[in-house]
Amino acid sequence: MVAAEEQNEEKLTESKIPVFHNPNFKHSAIRFSKKRVWKNLKQILALEKSYIWPTDAVHYSNIEAPPSFTPAKKYSDVSGLPANYTDPLTKLRYANSSEFQYVRGLSMDIVNGLLEIRKANSIV
């Protein structure tokens, strides 16, 4: 039963293969791995590092931009205006008293969402 199904499936995929496509082609990168998993970018970069390169070679990981040299400006999480204050309870930034009231009225998931978009939510 299972074998028949497998056959069926094979036929199905075969019929889909376009004429110009070599039906026997197998990717060398996953030809021998049982799980047939592709390396992600991080793994590829690690693999590249294990090669021996000429001294002047430049890699993908080498051209990462440096961190900012100036301190990040702080903006209100609810309006985008420059913010001078941070609510100690929700950790949201706000610009004025009316924004503070609004911040305190927000539900937890909105607060978390607002922190998340500037990656300031610490998962504890």
Residues near other proteins, by CB under 8 A: 5, 8-9, 12, 17-25, 27-32, 38-41, 44-45, 47-48, 50-54, 56-60, 62-70, 72-73, 75, 79-82, 95, 110, 113-114, 116-120
Smallest distance, other proteins to C-beta of residue 40, A:
5
Smallest distance, other proteins to C-beta of residue 94, A:
13
Smallest distance, other proteins to C-beta of residue 38, A:
5
Task: Report the alpha-carbon distance of residue 84 to residue 96 in Å, rounded.
Answer: 8
Strand partners, 93: 86
Q: Closest Cα partner for 59 from 47, 73, 71?
A: 47
Task: Report the alpha-carbon distance of residue 73 to residue 71 in Å, rounded.
Answer: 6
Smallest distance, other proteins to C-beta of residue 123, A:
14
Q: Tokens at residue 100, please? A: 């503070």
Which uninterrupted H or E stretch holds 93? Answer: strand 93-94
**Secondary structure of residue 21 in the 3-state scheme:** coil
